[in-house]
Chains A and B, each alone.
Chain A
Amino acid sequence: MLAAAQDGSEAAFTRLWLDANPALVRYLRVIAPGSAEDVASDTWVQVVRGLRRFSGDEAAWRAWLFTTARRRVIDASRRRSRRREEPLHDAPPEVMPVTADAADEALERLGTQSAIALLSELPRLQAEVILLRVVAGLDTNAVARLLGRNPGAVRVAGHRGLRRLAQILSQAGVTL
């Protein structure tokens, strides 16, 4: 599929996109809330530009896709910090958006959005490890390379994240 897309097959590229974009958007909704779709679009532009030069299998291609997305997020946050935007938490409480507690929402419906909201409660590294392992389907070594950590740290972060998730769900009274 990847080779066909590199050779110019739009059908193959569409298949790749349909396979990868939902996972990409879910990952970005956790690490770049509010701009996930925009960053995903920028990521695909970057990926399409480099598609012909890419060499590797489809697992490596997914790792490259998520690495590109993560770099776009970092670039976007740097741009925002240069623009010195007013942080949201500095706004007065009356203008803060009112959101339901993630655990309560999970009680009502364990849908994808609720799961993403639950993962957003975790520390950034733990959430990223869980998303990259479970959603992107990358192995520990690939995640370690992507995050610039060693595989042991990635493994520990993933386990801690899942334990923390179980704790949140337990406190919310979700037992099956």
Chain B
Amino acid sequence: MTGGGVSGSDMPSFPWTARQDASSPEDTSLAALLAGRGLPADAGAELRPVADVLASLTARPGSGELAGLTAAQAEFRRRVAVSAQVRRSRDRRPAGLVSRLGVKVSAVAAVVVMGFGGAAAAAYANALPASWQQFAHRTIGAPASGPGREARATTGAARPAAHPSSSNPAPAGRSGGSLARYGPAHHTRPALHAKPPATRPFVVRGRPAAPGPGRWKPLSLGTLRWPVQPEQTGPDTGMSNAGSIRGVS
């Protein structure tokens, strides 16, 4: 680059060495001191007092450095220990169903349950549209939609009491339903019945029963005879298969 005759001052002298990025032994010693690993054996003598100073910084605490313990403990008792105690007692309490599931899930579940319950009640009241009523009839044994529905609708208020002593006339077609056992129809069933009344057309799903002694013949909706006259009540005359709904014909 420079030819002969050039003075030495023209050649720049670089102040850094060729391997500037390599860590020197001193750097290794300093890193060890900062990491708390102590002074390496090959460390320079000038670093030994530094190591002693750093050791003094990590010496056992004096009494002046432990003065605030009582105040800190009091603050801890007030802030953490008491709230932890309250939290533990709350954890021991059994959580309710609503709190476990969450309010939204519980609300949705309640709506679903109420919806199904209402639909089932409507089905047993024979109040659903025909196709839905048929579906309910097949699935949960609700009354099938058919002539009885219209018949019951027409009889309505003109129907006399089912039992002379009963003030709660049972709606037609519900006497044998599964829900009807807990409804007013249960009370209207004649007390003298020794066996289930004959008007249970809803419980004969696909199971034809042969009439015979001790058996009662399954009825179709068109054979309902309701209400029963007082003179007809009895083991054999309670529900006749013949006839029609009073007031319809």
Contacts and interface: CB of A to CB of B under 8 A. Distances in A.
Interface of A: 5-8, 10, 13-14, 17-18, 21-23, 25-26, 37, 40-41, 44-45, 48-49, 51-52, 106, 110-112, 114-116, 118-119, 129-131, 133-135, 137, 139, 155, 158-159, 162-163, 165-166, 169-170, 174-176
Range of interface residues on chain B? 35 or more
Contacts of A5: 76, 80
Nearest to B77: A10
A106 B54 CA distance: 12
Given A106-B53, A111-B59, A21 B69 contact: yes
B114 interface: no
A80 to B, nearest CB: 21
Contacts of B30: 158-159, 162-163
A134 B57 contact: yes
A111 B81 CA distance: 37
B42 interface: no
Contact of B80 (A52, A111, A175): A52
B78 to A, nearest CB: 8
Contact of B72 (A8, A23, A48, A166): A48
A134 B54 contact: yes
Q: Does more than half of chain A's interface fall in helix, strand or loop, or is it mixed? A: helix
Contacts of A13: 72-73, 76, 80
Nearest to A158: B34
B123 to A, nearest CB: 54
B80 A174 contact: no
B80 A131 contact: no
Given A8-B85, A14-B69, A52-B83, 12 more contacts: A5-B76, A8-B84, A10-B76, A10-B81, A18-B61, A41-B71, A48-B72, A51-B76, A114-B56, A115-B54, A158-B30, A166-B47
B68 A49 contact: no
Contact of B53 (A21, A48, A115): A115
B73 A14 contact: yes
A110 B81 contact: no
Contacts of B57: 26, 112, 115-116, 119, 131, 134-135
Given A22-B65, A44-B68, A110 B56 contact: yes
B34 to A, nearest CB: 4
B136 to A, nearest CB: 55
B70 to A, nearest CB: 10
A31 to B, nearest CB: 14
A169 B35 CA distance: 21
Contact of B48 (A7, A25, A45, A176): A176
B18 interface: no
Most chain A CB neighbours (cut-off 10 Å) among B57, B79, B85: B57
B36 interface: yes
Contacts of A114: 53, 56
Contacts of B68: 21, 37, 40-41, 44
B72 A37 contact: no
Nearest to B87: A8
B33 interface: yes
A116 to B, nearest CB: 7
Nearest to B60: A22
Contact of B36 (A49, A134, A159): A134
